């Protein structure tokens, strides 16, 4: 084998390994953000929680799933309102946690897609207040890598109320999410 060809192969392997290592490092950093998010909700640590988010505008919105919205309307009538959509802020979310003795946001079925600069995290969640699950659904985080650190720029989630519907098992949810994957 000619020395130039051998050098090219070695260089290509080195570049591929470098990219693979960088992707692994990015996913590790993003998983660390998810862990800090979870811990901050449990401990109601505003300093750590706020540090996870971008300094600029951050989207925070949820949508109550149709079947929970229908049950709420049936139960509470016109008081519920017509819209199943609501917008808030990450600071408002954390402040609302103080009305409970204990809180937890549990995540599983986590999938991270990133290119080194932007990332999308999709996951299933269940929200617990005072040791009781209150709602569950899908949560979608948008992140950017700004000044060398990953920051959350958006939190968008669906909401199913446990007063009416139990969260399916992880295996059932994994089957449902693969059903909606575009191929």
Residue 34, classed as helix, strand or coil, is helix
Total of domains in the chain: 1
Residue 24 CA to chain centroid, in angstroms? Answer: 18
Other CB atoms closer than 10 Å to residue 105's CB: what's the count? Answer: 19
Residues linked to residue 140 through DSSP beta bridges, in sequence order: 122, 156
CATH of residue 129: 3.10.450.50
Q: What is the DSSP letter of 24?
A: H
Cβ atoms 164, 71 nearer than 8 A: yes
Residues linked to residue 86 through DSSP beta bridges, in sequence order: 62
Over residues 40-93, the pLDDT tens digits come to: 999 999 999 999 999 989 999 999 999 999 998 888 876 666 789 999 999 999
The residue with tokens 């750590």 is 48
Residues 177, 179, 182, 183, Cα dihedral to 10°:
120
Average pLDDT taken over every residue of the chain? 88
Q: What span, in angstroms and rounded, lies between the C-alpha atoms of 50 and 94?
A: 9
Residue 30 CA to chain centroid, in angstroms? Answer: 10
Determine the pLDDT at residue 77: 77
- pTM of the shown model: 0.82
Cβ atoms 108, 169 nearer than 8 A: no
H or E stretch covering 165: none
Residue-number span of the structural domain to which 55 is assigned? 3-179
When mean pLDDT is compared across 10-14, 47-51, 58-62, 163-167, the lowest value belongs to 10-14
């Amino acid at each position: 084998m000619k020395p130039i060809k051998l050098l090219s192969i070695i260089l290509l392997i080195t570049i591929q390994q470098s990219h693979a290592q960088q992707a692994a490092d990015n996913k590790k950093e993003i998983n660390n953000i998810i862990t800090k998010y979870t811990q901050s909700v449990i401990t109601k640590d505003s300093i750590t929680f706020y540090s996870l988010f971008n300094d600029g505008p951050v989207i925070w919105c949820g949508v109550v799933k149709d079947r929970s919205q229908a049950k709420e309307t049936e139960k509470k009538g016109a008081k519920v309102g017509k819209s199943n959509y609501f917008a808030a802020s990450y600071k408002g979310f954390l402040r609302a946690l103080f009305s409970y003795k204990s809180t937890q946001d549990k995540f599983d079925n986590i999938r991270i897609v990133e290119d080194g600069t932007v990332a999308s995290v999709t996951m299933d969640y269940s929200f617990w207040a005072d040791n009781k699950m209150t709602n569950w659904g899908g949560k979608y985080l948008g992140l950017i890598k700004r000044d060398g650190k990953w920051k959350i720029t958006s939190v968008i989630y669906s909401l199913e109320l446990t007063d009416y519907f139990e969260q399916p098992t992880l295996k059932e949810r994994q089957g449902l999410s693969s059903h909606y994957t575009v191929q």
